[in-house]
Amino acid sequence: MKMIIAIIKPFKLEDVRDALTSTGIQGMTVAEVKGYGRQKGHKEIYRGAEYAVNFLPKIRVDVAVDDNQVDKVVEVIANAAKTGQIGDGKIFVTGIDSAVRIRTGETDSDAL
């Protein structure tokens, strides 16, 4: 089992969700986050005073999948979230030790 963590542009969330649903992914967790990468932040100007906004709003999507689905899901997210512009985000893949479906008590792959 792997956890796929995608940091994407907020307006791309619906595209990513649609693409994941059509590949058979049944659930995901979404959070509004702030951060920056190579893009850095941007400048805002208020009556002549310039402020650097270092942390930009992003959306983080967490999807837990079986090992054999990882490559496909990463590709689907990358295609759906891509604009080609700076600040498109990143995808991280990390391992999951165990999983439990709370209602039934099923574990690991059965719980996904």
Among residues 11, 26, 31, 52, the one that binds another protein under rule CB under 8 A: 52
Could you give the string, one character per residue 26-45, with x where binding to another protein holds by CB under 8 A and - elsewhere? ------------------xx
CA distances from 65 to 22, 54, 72, 74, 108 (A): 15, 32, 10, 10, 10
Q: Which stretches within the chain are classed as H helix?
A: 13-22, 70-81
Residue from the set 48, 84, 95, 105 that interacts with another protein by CB under 8 A: 48
Q: What six digits make up the tokens of 25?
A: 């992914």
Tell which one of 26, 31, 38, 47 touches another protein (CB under 8 A): 47
> Which residue type is seen at 55?
F
Instruction: Give whichever of 52 and 102 is closer to another protein, judged by the CB atom.
Output: 52
Q: Does 86 bind another protein (CB under 8 A)?
A: no
Question: Following DSSP, what letter does each residue of 4-19 receive, concatenated?
Answer: EEEEE-GGGHHHHHHH
- Binding of residue 53 to another protein (CB under 8 A): yes
Q: Contact 59/31 with Cβ under 8 angstroms?
A: yes
Which residue number, 11 or 46, has a Cβ lying nearer to another protein? 46
Least distance between another protein and beta carbon 45 (Å): 6
| Site for another protein, rule CB under 8 A | 44-49, 51-53
